[in-house]
């Protein structure tokens, strides 16, 4: 090494040191800024949280089930909490949860510190599949209600009918809610009482999960059904002005019911869970809509269907019940008489006269009490939000075709279980 090279080496060392310092300083600044900005986001991705928002593995957890006749204070005292603390919890709870509504069979959990002397940190009571009560024993007592994290997954399923749609779907581990949704979409196309062996279906839908537990089917996007060799497609389409299920041509899968069973007539009493009965003079539910009209006014079937009952009871008077499809049924009470030919098994068309207004049974004056069933439950047809029965307006057709084609492609990709190598 010569004398000439020494100062150059020194310069090099200084330059390198400065560079190292700069880089290090830069890294420090980055780390610092990470701490304040980006790290929160990263942590959420890295740390797995349990149903109640606690990091997995962060606590020792003891889980129990509420036994019959167990009260909240029984349960809390099993955690060795003092009566004073239990009293305070009960007091603070009033705003978020009524402790008397605690139910046998529900789960509760104690969260303890994960160390040699575990300390109770949180108490969790599961109010329902979604809601829970959280009590925290930090510096100050925390009592709050929380909601579990719901994950929505896009799913698909298929099946071949062996006995009934219900059995086939249950065999395929599909939720009852999905079965009901599919039946509703196809209600006007498929008579599910006559679904036959060899009928097949495919479905694309969204399902909500809490952990790995299914908690609901928020939407069905597309359905394909082969009913006795006939192919039916239903594509869900939604815009600001219209939403419903449409066939590949953009026609609605739904048919409209008449708004009322009378051409003229006024609503005299609406569907109610508690109304003063005009004859009995005490409160009871009124699961129908009354239309007052002159004696003898024709009563019309609100949709195509089959008469299942045409009979008399002391309450209903002369009444007719019609099954429109697997989902909907209607009933018409207090008739003066039936129209000719109306008896169980008679096929009726929308708008067909099935009887005449009267006041038979428990009625104060001539009216028809109109009752509407959806999936076996009485509902207020005036409040039912039906999907659109209108065809798609021309200006939405191209948007629909895009959705239709992508869903059709997805449906095609779903194998039938039988074709699916296990
Ligand atoms: Zn009524």
CATH topology of domain 266-379: Glucose Permease (Domain IIA) (2.70.70)
Placement of tokens 């139910």 in the chain: 103
pLDDT tens for the chain, residues 1 to 422: 444 445 555 555 544 454 444 444 333 333 333 333 333 444 445 678 888 889 888 899 999 999 998 998 899 999 988 899 999 999 999 889 998 899 999 999 999 998 888 999 999 999 988 899 999 998 889 999 999 988 999 999 988 887 777 777 777 778 878 888 888 888 878 877 677 788 889 999 999 998 888 888 999 999 999 988 899 999 999 998 888 899 999 988 887 788 789 887 788 888 887 777 777 767 778 889 999 988 999 999 998 899 999 999 999 999 999 999 888 999 999 999 999 999 999 999 988 999 999 999 988 899 999 999 998 899 998 887 666 677 788 999 999 999 999 999 999 999 886 544 43
368 alpha carbon – ligand 1 mean position (Å): 7
268 alpha carbon – ligand 1 mean position (Å): 9
361 alpha carbon – ligand 1 mean position (Å): 11
232 alpha carbon – ligand 1 mean position (Å): 38
Predicted local confidence at residue 33, as pLDDT? 33
Q: Which helix (H) or strand (E) holds 310?
A: strand 305-313
343 alpha carbon – ligand 1 mean position (Å): 22
347 alpha carbon – ligand 1 mean position (Å): 25
Name the residue among 372, 384, 357, 375 with its Cα closest to residue 286. 372
351 alpha carbon – ligand 1 mean position (Å): 21
For 116, other C-beta atoms within 10 Å of its C-beta total 5
Predicted local confidence at residue 407, as pLDDT? 97
How far, in Å, CA of 222 to CA of 298, rounded?
40
How far, in Å, CA of 407 to CA of 248, rounded?
11
Dihedral (Cα; 17, 19, 25, 28), 10-degree rounding: -100
Domains 59-147 and 151-256+414-419 share a fold: yes
CATH topology of domain 59-147: Nuclear Transport Factor 2; Chain: A, (3.10.450)
288 alpha carbon – ligand 1 mean position (Å): 5
Q: Is there a contact between 184 and 327 (Cβ–Cβ < 8 Å)?
A: yes
Q: Which CATH architecture has domain 151-256+414-419?
A: Roll (3.10)
Under 8 Å CB-to-CB from 104, ≥6 apart: which residues? 65, 66, 67, 68, 69, 70
Length of the chain: 422
Alpha helix positions (H), 138-252: 165-171, 176-185
Residue 4 sits at φ, ψ, to 5 deg, of -70, -40
- The structure tokens listed for 77 are 């005292």
291 alpha carbon – ligand 1 mean position (Å): 8
**Is the whole model's pTM more than 0.75, yes or no?**
no
Residue ranges per domain, the chain? 59-147, 151-256+414-419, 266-379
326 alpha carbon – ligand 1 mean position (Å): 24
313 alpha carbon – ligand 1 mean position (Å): 14
274 burial via Cβ count (<10 Å: 0-12, 13-18, 19+): exposed
């Amino acid at each position: 090494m010569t004398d000439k090279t020494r100062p150059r080496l020194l310069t090099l060392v200084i330059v390198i040191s400065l560079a190292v310092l700069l880089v290090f300083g830069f890294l420090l600044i980055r780390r610092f800024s990470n701490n304040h900005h980006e790290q929160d986001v990263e942590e959420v991705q890295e740390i797995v949280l349990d149903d109640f928002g606690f990091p997995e593995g962060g606590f020792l957890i003891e889980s129990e089930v509420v036994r019959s006749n167990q009260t909240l204070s029984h349960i809390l005292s099993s955690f060795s909490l003092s009566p004073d603390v239990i009293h305070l919890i009960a007091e603070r709870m009033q705003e978020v949860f009524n402790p008397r509504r605690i139910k046998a069979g529900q789960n509760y959990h104690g969260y303890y510190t994960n160390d040699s002397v575990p300390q109770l940190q949180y108490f969790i009571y599961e109010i329902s599949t979604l809601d829970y009560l959280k009590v925290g024993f930090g510096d100050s007592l925390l009592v709050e209600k929380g909601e579990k994290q719901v994950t929505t997954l896009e799913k698909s399923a298929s099946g071949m009918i062996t006995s009934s749609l219900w059995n086939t779907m249950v065999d395929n581990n599909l939720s009852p809610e999905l079965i009901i949704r599919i039946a509703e979409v196809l209600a006007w196309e498929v008579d599910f009482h006559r679904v036959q062996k060899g009928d097949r279906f495919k479905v694309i839908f969204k399902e909500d999960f809490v952990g790995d537990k299914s908690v609901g089917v928020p939407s069905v996007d597309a359905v394909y059904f082969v009913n006795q060799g006939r192919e039916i497609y239903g594509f869900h389409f939604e815009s600001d002005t219209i939403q419903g299920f449409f066939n590949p041509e953009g026609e609605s899968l739904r048919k409209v019911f008449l708004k009322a069973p009378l051409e003229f007539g006024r609503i005299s009493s609406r569907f109610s869970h508690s109304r003063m009965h005009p004859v009995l003079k005490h409160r009871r539910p009124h699961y129908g809509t009354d239309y007052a009209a002159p004696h003898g006014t024709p009563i019309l079937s609100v949709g195509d269907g089959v008469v299942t009952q045409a009979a008399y009871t002391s309450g209903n008077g002369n009444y007719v019940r019609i099954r429109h499809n697997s989902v909907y049924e209607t009933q018409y009470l207090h008739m003066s008489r039936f129209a000719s030919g109306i008896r169980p098994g008679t096929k009726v068309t929308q708008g067909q006269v099935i009887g005449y207004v009267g006041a038979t049974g428990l009625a104060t004056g001539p009216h028809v009490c109109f009752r509407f069933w959806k999936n076996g439950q009485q509902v207020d047809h005036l409040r039912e939000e039906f999907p659109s029965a209108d065809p798609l307006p021309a200006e939405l057709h191209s948007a629909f075709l895009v959705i239709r084609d992508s869903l059709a492609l997805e449906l095609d990709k779903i194998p039938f279980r039988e074709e699916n190598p296990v």
